[in-house]
Structure 1
Amino acid sequence: MSDPVLPKPLRVAGIVFGWLLGALLVAAIGATAWVGVRGLEAYGHLRDAEATARETVTKISDPAQASGLIDRLAADTSAARALTSDPVWAVAERMPWIGPQLHAVSTVAAAADNVAGSALKPLAGVAASFSIDSFRPTGGKIDTAMFAEIAEPARLGADGVAAASASVSALDGDLLLGPVREAVSDVADMLETSAKATDALARASALLPSMLGADGARDYLVVFQNNAEWRSLGGIVGAMAVIHTDAGTMSMTAQGSSGDFRKYDEPVVTLDPEITRIFEKRPAQWIQNVTQVPDFSITGELAREMWKRETGVEVDGVLALDPVALSYLLKATGPVTLPTGDLLTSDNAVQLLLNDVYERYEKPADQDAFFAAAAAAVFDTLATGSANPTALVTALGRAGDERRLLMWSATPEDQAVIAETTLAGGLPVTDHETARFGVFLNDGTGSKMDYYVTADTTVGWDACTVDARDRTADPVTLTLTLTNTAPADAATSLPEYITGGGSFGVPAGVARTVAYLYLPEGYTLIQASRTDAGGFGGGFHRGLQVLTFSTDLEPGASATATITVQPPEPGAATVTADVTPTVDADVPTRIGAECAAAYDTP
């Protein structure tokens, strides 16, 4: 059949249409090449930026070191953003299949550029005058003006990084190819880490001037937790001291011990009924028990009121640390010589302060005097600026991350800065990404036997699958195994002050532990069991279900509690548990697991 003969206008139209189709095809090929070439160039800049960003994160706590890296980062991210934001790229983002991939690339490029340019650049402007040495006292004084100068740029930077992190996290993983999805996930993780680092710097620069007395003198009660006798947040409150700050100067103005406090007939602060149903009134009646409720904002109020009742002094805030945190600080100060002639080091601090002292001194008053001397010696070393500032910041950061350093302020503005950080010592909060348990341990022996008790905690799934949104509907299980590692003859070989000598109805050598297990909010308990055949009590605390149990362990004995919960709907594919800090620095105070199963990739 011969080709049909079309009228001239239609032939012309056909030629034009064919030309247009050809032109569009050429344009499409050209656009693809254009996008491809620019995409490869952008990829190179983003990879360079990623490497620089990871290095920047490690230096962000010292802006002077980070400023040069920020300039280099900004150059790469600006180039990547320009390459992925032209009109051709924007049109390509609307195409099926490939469009979401390109949109993800441009979103990552824009987020990275916002971080480097709008968020971190302000920090570079003040970095030249700021150094990690700013933490070192000079002539007994810390210059608070430097922290005030960096506060606003640090907050702008933190807000910018948080916004960038949110934009990348909002990308729909369902639409992305496996390699792109993995890359986006890596960037999201990096931005989340960056957000935490910049937020920590912003909070520190906002908080330190006021805490150091820049706006007027402050007094802080520092309580030392004794992990050899567990309480939910670490240990009983034993020794304590008041630190006075004024215009950057620090001095220790008072010391005390739990022996200076009486039992109060009525709670010094009214506790919520749901708290007293779980913990009774003891946290508000004994100074030793103020850390029993796993919320340091409650501890702070209780300790402040008790100190006021005994001394007449109303402090501006309360801090807590334990001997393990002290051992971290000693890495920054170096060994400290005590009045007794002992050399207190990072290696021997825990054993000396939590065990040896009870074998050396039988009288509690002598033990308290030893603790007071150790605290004063370490404080003097810190206050005179003898500590290595970089090591000091590292030590404080580690202690804070492990919840061995806690802080509460009676000033609402300061407390708002502390809140939602590990320093606040708050209850575990479950969110979209992570289901959080709390494992809080308390001594029931009335002794120092917890120096010998280990707590092994695990969380995870027997089997799990996740969907494309990283959600899982499978039950998650928590196990807690407690073991008494004391010698078999502990009843006779250990001092009575360590074993308790049966004073509270527990035979010498036996360790009694009372555990409070906080379940993730919204999760349903489907199974709870114990190897020692005991049961559970419990209640609710701020919407969290709490299971309680008590177990008595002879030397060498163990007991395990197993708890399984079900998410209300497909829930977080990451689970963690905050655990009471113990005497062992190698035992994590937060453990976690991720659902290992992965959804199919196209």
Structure 2
Amino acid sequence: MARGLIYTLAFILLLLAADAAFVVWQVRSNLTSASKVLVSGSEKLRSGDPVAAMPDLKAALQQTASAEDALRHPSARLAEAFPLTSNDLNAVGELAATAATAARSGSAISQVLTELGVTRGDISTAFYENGEVNVHSLETAAPRISEATRAIFLASSRLEAVEQIPRLQVIADALNTAKLQLASASAATEQAEMLFDLLPSALGGTADRRYLLLFQALGESRATGGVVGLYGIVTATDGQLALQSIHPYTKLKKIEATDVPAWFEKNYSFQSALTQWPQANVSPNFPAVAQVMLSMYENSSREQLDGVLAMDPLALSTLMQGTGPIQVGRKIITPDEMDELLLVRSYTDFPDQESQNDFLARVVRAFWDELSATPEDPEGIIKGFGEAITQQHLKFYLADEEEQLALSELKADGSYTSAGDMVQMLFTNNYSTNKVDYFLNRSTKTDVLILPDGTARVDVSVVLRNDSPRGFPDLLLGAGTSTLAPGGNASLVSLLMPIGAQAVSTSVDRNETAVLTYQDEDHPVSWAFVDIPPQEETRLRFSYELPGAVDLAGGGAFSLTLFPQAVVNAEQYEVRVAASSFADGKSIRESEIIKKGTLTTPALVEVAFASPGR
């Protein structure tokens, strides 16, 4: 009797186990199918086809619903009680719930895009058409974006809260992949939410806005890009941007900045940054520079403005990929020829600065007139704005503190401060009164050595090559100086270092020089003055130490962001991170980590440390 009962129980358990295995197979099949159609729906949504995306997203919801139903099966509930299978089933349950959330969020966004008239192709037409941003569309979409943001954030938090590691590797891998994808999606939707909240007011949706336009000449470098020769007023009215006026800065009356950060006044007033317009942007901190130049303008004109917009020739040519060619007088200017036209020929083809300024002003006005009309490629305009902002050729500052904070969180404020404390930036200020930075090429090699106590010892080698031609004085090559012929580059070369860094040494062409430093807000800056003759190069080396760069107590990490200066020829960089031997057994995964490339956008270098056996 007892033996028969045991056989019966064993048979029942075997049936339940087989049933549970079938349930797991079914759930896995449902989630695999859901994943495929989710990816397909997301791709269609990104390509601007919400109508085609909707069936895929609905299919994903059906598949996840089937998976969730299967997990409520009695055999699955019983399997949850067993230690060998409970972790796997819990993880699968969270994955199913997360996939359902993603599908619902995608469906909500697809629905609002369909309501805004996007059927197939270009999403940009729902928000930008006939030269203006559709503020109503932004306000309509904002609540749905917020809902999706909250839902994805909660789903991401749920996955992060799964502490038990699944026993099956395929489930563990799926869980880790989902965590990474959801964290990325959460960050993206959060930024979209901030952008959709910010744009209506910034673009004059609630009240007209007036902004100070600064046009930076990259041929004569300044820390934020180039010396500002032209200024203007841009208005924003219900999504429509328009250039009202543009003039050379010499049209301004007495220039003096009064409403400026205390640290800026302390560290840059000796360079006449508060009293001379061309010197106002010698700091790489664009929000502070914008405040200074806004104060200068407002004190001169007695007109209060709502912010600052700074752009340069490279921003112009990038945005012209969307506007198409512009016409100045009888001349048709294409995007491909804009850079050379503004950075070289505008200085060589005109006999004096007055006629050159007049030509530049007409080019800038023609561009803004085209931007305010019906653009050739609306999507190209939107992409161009994004590219110009991330490459630091287009910068914004908003006088409203909350709006400026949102701009900073979006990393669209044009400042190295958005990269955090661990940031390094090489920047130059040209003092040769010419435009030869068009010919300046720069490269850096950053060697980081992590010491046993976690201190980072950093050596930054800089090569500046002046490929300017030798020639007679003109607006491009300048008149030369007492030590340089026309075409020579006399520059203040500066290295902004992470917060807490301590400058150790500076050398120019292998000759040790005095260590000269100051503070840009909270960041120390080392600097040296160099003369670079035409067709020659100069080498500098900045060394600094950063105590506590790596916390080795539990296996830490070293990170450093290289931030680009807006220049004509982007910096070529190389970073090497190595570690000395550690007495406590800590080591990095590799003896040397190398990252190199062209610094057009901020570059993050990260190196993880771990104890042996981890």
Name the SS of the counterpart of 1:386 in structure 2: coil
One-letter amino acid of the counterpart of residue 561, structure 1: R
* Structure 2 match to 1:511: 489
1:551 aligns to what? 530
| Counterpart in the other structure of 1:481 | 462
Alignment deviations for residues 36-63 of structure 1 (CA, whole Å, 9 cap, x no partner): 4145224413531552365267447x86
Q: 1:450 aligns with which of 428, 432, 437?
A: 437
Task: Mark the CA change 1:25 to 1:74 in structure 2 (over 3 Å): closer, same or farther.
Answer: closer
TM-aligned CA deviation for residue 507 of structure 1: 5.1
| CA positional deviation for 1:418 | 1.8
Structure 1 pair 401/331, CA: closer, same or farther in 2 (3 Å)?
Answer: same
Structure 2 vs 1, CA of residues 476 and 579 (structure 1 numbering), >3 Å: closer, same or farther? farther
Residues 100 and 505 of structure 1: CA distance in aligned 2, closer, same or farther (over 3 Å) = farther
Which position in structure 2 is the counterpart of 1:576?
Answer: 561
Is residue 276 of structure 1 aligned with residue 249 of structure 2?
no
Q: Does the Cα contact within 8 Å between 1:446 and 1:503 map onto a contact in 2?
A: no
Which stretch has the larger CA shift, 522-531 or 506-515?
522-531
Paired residue for 2:586? Answer: none
Give, in whole Å, the separation in 1 of the partners of 2:163 and 2:523: 31
Coordinate RMSD, CA, aligned: 4.2
In structure 2, what residue type is equivalent to 1:482? V
Letter of the structure 2 residue corresponding to residue 353 of structure 1: L
* More deviation, 151-160/368-377: 151-160
Decide which structure has greater strand share: 2
Q: CA deviation at 1:378?
A: 1.0
Q: Tell me: CA distance 1:544–1:326, structure 2 relative to 1, closer, same or farther (3 Å).
A: same
Distance 1:161 1:294, change over 3 A: farther
Q: Deviations over 1:346-391 (max 9, x none)?
A: 2111111112211112422222111111111111111111331111
Structure 1 CA distance, aligned partners of 2:364 and 2:12? Answer: 78
2:115 pairs, out of 129, 132, 149, with 129
* Cross-structure match for 1:315: 305
Which residue is equivalent to 1:298? 288
Distance 1:267 1:256, change over 3 A: same
Q: 2:143 aligns with which of 142, 145, 152?
A: 152
Counterparts of 1:400-419 in structure 2 under 5 Å? Answer: 400-419=389-408
Same amino acid, percent of matched pairs? 20
Any idea what SS the aligned residue of 2:222 has? Answer: coil
| Amino acid across the alignment from 1:277 | N
Structure number with greater CO (CA < 8 Å, separation at least 6) is 1
The worse-fitting range, judged by mean Cα deviation, of 412-421 and 83-92 is: 83-92
SS of the residue corresponding to residue 269 of structure 1 reads coil
Match of 1:498 among 454, 471, 476: 476
Partner in structure 1 of residue 585 of structure 2: none
Alignment of 1:366-381 (within 5 A): 366-381=355-370
Q: What residue is the counterpart of 2:549 in the other structure?
A: 567
Secondary structure in 2 matching 1:128: helix
C-alpha change, 1:91 and 1:478, in structure 2 (3 Å) is farther
Shift of 1:569: 0.7
Name the aligned partner's letter for residue 146 of structure 1. Answer: S
Displacement of 1:96: 5.9
SS at match of 2:416: coil
Given candidates 274, 277, 285, the residue that maps to 1:287 is 277
Distance 2:540 2:230 in 1: 33
Structure 2: stretches of 5+ with no match in the other structure:
119-123, 571-597
Q: Spell out the pairing of 1:70-469 with structure 2 (5 A cutoff).
A: 70-71=57-58, 73-79=60-66, 103-117=90-104, 119-130=105-116, 131=118, 132-138=124-130, 142-168=133-159, 183-261=174-252, 264=255, 267-273=257-263, 276-277=266-267, 280=270, 282-339=272-329, 341-429=330-418, 435-457=422-444
Normalising by structure 2, what TM-score? 0.79
- Unaligned residue ranges in structure 1 (runs of 5+): 1-10, 465-471
Contact 1:219–1:244, Cα closer than 8 Å, also in 2: yes
Distance (whole Å) between structure 1 residues aligned to residue 411 and residue 359 of structure 2: 30
Taking the aligned partners of 1:114 and 1:369, their CA distance within structure 2 comes to 57
Contact 1:229 1:443 in 2 (8 A): yes
Residue 45, structure 1, aligned to residue 40, structure 2 = no
The one-letter amino acid of 1:498's match is: L
Q: Does structure 2 conserve the Cα–Cα contact (< 8 Å) formed by 1:215 and 1:247? A: yes
Residues 517, 99 of structure 1: CA spacing in aligned structure 2 closer, same or farther, 3 A cutoff?
Answer: farther
Query: Bigger CA drift: 273-282 or 303-312?
Result: 273-282
CA gap of 1:354–1:82, structure 2 versus 1, over 3 A, is farther
SS of residue paired to 1:547: strand
Name the CA distance, whole Å, in 1 between partners of 2:151 and 2:523.
33
CA distance in 1, matches of 2:169, 2:428: 43
